[in-house]
Chains A and B, each alone.
Chain A
Amino acid sequence: MTAHPFLRGVTPFGRAPAPAVPRIATATLSEAFDSRHPLDAAAAGFVLAALPPGRVLWAQDRLSRAEFGAPFLPGTGRALLRLDLTRPADVLAALEDGLRSRALAAVVGEIHGAPPALSFTASRRLALRAETAGLPCWLIRHAARPDASAARMRWRLSALPSAPDPDDPKAPGDPRWLAELFRARGQPPSTWVARHDRAADRLDLSAPPRDRELAAPARAAGRGLA
């Protein structure tokens, strides 16, 4: 007998128990991969919703800014300390500088692709610095495959059809994302549906609907509205 007799998500007696929700705002290095589509801002939205209150340093390299856009103040509602940089190596250096300072509540870096500067050693440096400083450090990885990294939590995020708008059935409502924690220290990998309640500024993680018969008509109905 092995320790895990069943495949993930498949149990002999109906639904699998919902995995425990991890503490997202942990003072460590976390990575958020997007779905590699430029029009999918799920990773940035998830990170922004998970950030603690306070001053946040947000560093972007040039390709991320050109392809995926820059944070927009009226939409984010947070005055981020923005750094518009050129190279991914600059972003990593800025994150290290930010983690050394006591003026910040968190640091976020956006990196496009898999540059050589972001090696395993570089990610380990960041992780150690973040844990020493006691600050959450997020790396948003655009258009990248997960490679070797020392990040303690690695998320993959993609957009899901939004929650229904209470006032207008045709309008998009609160954002929902499929959040897959595919590697974490001391935690089994699992998947959640994340919903950002914008009115309360709260991030809810719930187990995704497992039942295919139930999940399929919802998707069909979403298509039927077009």
Chain B
Amino acid sequence: MPLALAAPGPHGPVIHAANRAGEEVGARPGARVVDCRSICPELRVEDAQPAQEAARLARLTFWIRRWGPFSAVDGADGLILDTTGTAHLFGGEPALLTDIQAGFARAGLTCRLALAPTRGAAWALARFGPERAICTDPLPALAPLPVAALRLSPETLLLLHRLGLKTIGDLAAILRLPLMRRFARTAPADNPLIRLDQALGRAAEPLDAPEPPAEFAAEARLAEPVMDPSDWLPGLTEQLCAGMAAQDRGCRRLCLSVFRVDGERRDIRVALAAPARDPAHLLRLFQGRLDRLDPGYGFDLIQLAAEAVEPLAQAQPALDGSAPEALALSRLVDRLVARFGAAAISRPLPQDSHIPERSEIPGPPLDDSPAPPARPDRPLRLLTPPEEIQVLYAIPEGPPAQFIWRRQTLRVARHAGPERIAPEWWQDRPGTRLRDYFRIEDDSGRRLWIYREGLAQDGRGGAPRWFLHGIFA
């Protein structure tokens, strides 16, 4: 059944697009509808709806992100997808293209695919190359294609035809200087040399991938610009949480955007440790953050959007109406992170290392693994960095008798050690000296952890230095 879409043209309607049966009977895009009807009387013609097409294409932009992280609309009839590093997940590049084509077919769509190192080469091969073309080197793949594959306007194409440059290979073979002079005045998007460079990867052409629209959002449009969003925030939060509750969803990030009258946008983002949709809790996270919002001359649109939406089932509240116990920690972490930043809060985790600085690392605050039992030969508090001290010892390589720390002299009353900790050769730089740790106690009862770095004649520097590294209880 031949079918064609018609768009208004300067001399009556022209064909905008046609299905395959329509193209076989001669309904090429750009042909006049009356001509096609006379060739094929059973051709069905309907009005094209460009706005709906664009909206459908924009929806497909996010749908194709199942095959790659970045995608964008490319012109009126194309999509561009960045598949860097994702092909192996689908079993290689040919399998990826087959999978994409099958996906489109299941959705009732036909597509022409090409995979190339540059955007320009992929555009050219998808429209003028073989079916499911895969190219690794753009120049040999593009050389036999016509110059129309370079995304140029009809005027420029006509000019190139008159100059006798039929294929991209012809264009790439001649000297650049005369061409540069000839096209010095044309716009960059219409300059054959720039387009050639982009297709061959000599000029960068970044992909501007749009963010998908927020699934849950609430906005307040204001009649007059205001400077402070705090009066609208409770209502927006309620609205957002009601929307999420209806679909059993919770969010891990919240973004409050204000749209200023001078054309700027300002965002405040808060993050949550666990998905939540409790309006009072979400509202509390913005406490103290709104002061840092720069309102300029005021804003007239406030938007609160939920990001990183996750499934969250309804939870049974306790008998006194408070939130369940398990949520209390994540709520606390949320409040502290919103107030002091994620770097401030941590729960130390043990590491397999004898070097004291490496024996603990800051772990995630929600981690609940039990700590190893306390070791009596490790200090309660660690100084970072260790402080250098001057030590007097009775016998060389022996225990210290007295040391000077910040110009104070401390006499050693008791000591235990040394405990030798060798450098970790797989991590430390060559020449790192070993450490001999002593537990000492001075005559007023202060218990300290000091170490000597290196030995007297170990060939890794001069005389060994001493450091104070920790304080025992």
Contact = CB atoms under 8 A, between A and B. Distances in A.
Given A68-B381, A222-B413, A161 B473 contact: no
Contact of B335 (A73, A84, A97): A97
The secondary structure that dominates the A interface is mixed
B374 A82 contact: no
B350 A196 contact: no
B137 to A, nearest CB: 52
Given A69-B470, A71-B381, A172-B447, 12 more contacts: A37-B446, A46-B473, A68-B381, A73-B359, A74-B360, A75-B381, A78-B371, A78-B374, A79-B349, A100-B332, A101-B332, A226-B413
Given A39-B448, A48-B473, A103-B328, A75 B378 contact: yes
B340 A39 contact: no
Contacts of B374: 74-78, 198
Given A72-B382, A73-B350, A226-B413, A198 B340 contact: no
Given A44-B381, A69-B382, A162 B441 contact: yes
Nearest to A64: B381
Nearest to B402: A226
Interface string B382-409: 1110000000000000000100010000
Interface residues of B, number: 62
Contact of B405 (A39, A80, A162): A39
A104 interface: yes
A117 interface: no
A20 interface: no
Interface in B270-314: none
Contacts of B359: 73-74
Q: How large is the interface on A (under 10, 10 to 19, 20 to 34, 35 or more residues)?
A: 35 or more
A73 B381 contact: no
Contact of B384 (A39, A40, A41, A69): A69
Given A172-B440, A172-B441, A175-B473, A73 B371 contact: yes
Nearest to A68: B381
A76 B348 CA distance: 11
B443 A42 contact: no
Nearest to A104: B332
Contact of B473 (A42, A57, A104, A223): A42
A88 interface: no
A76 B472 contact: no
A163 B140 CA distance: 84
Interface of A: 37, 39-42, 44-46, 48-49, 55, 57, 68-85, 90, 93-94, 97-98, 100-104, 158-162, 165, 168, 170-172, 175-176, 196, 198, 222-223, 225-226
A140 B401 CA distance: 31
Contacts of B380: 41, 44-45, 48, 71-72, 75-76
A161 B411 CA distance: 13
B128 to A, nearest CB: 60
Given A44-B473, A75-B375, A171-B439, A81 B365 contact: yes
A37 B405 CA distance: 12
B471 A225 contact: no
Nearest to A165: B416
A40 B446 contact: yes
A66 to B, nearest CB: 9
Interface in B414-472: 414-416, 439-441, 443-448, 468, 470-472
Contact of B375 (A39, A74, A78, A226): A74
Nearest to A79: B371
Nearest to A175: B473
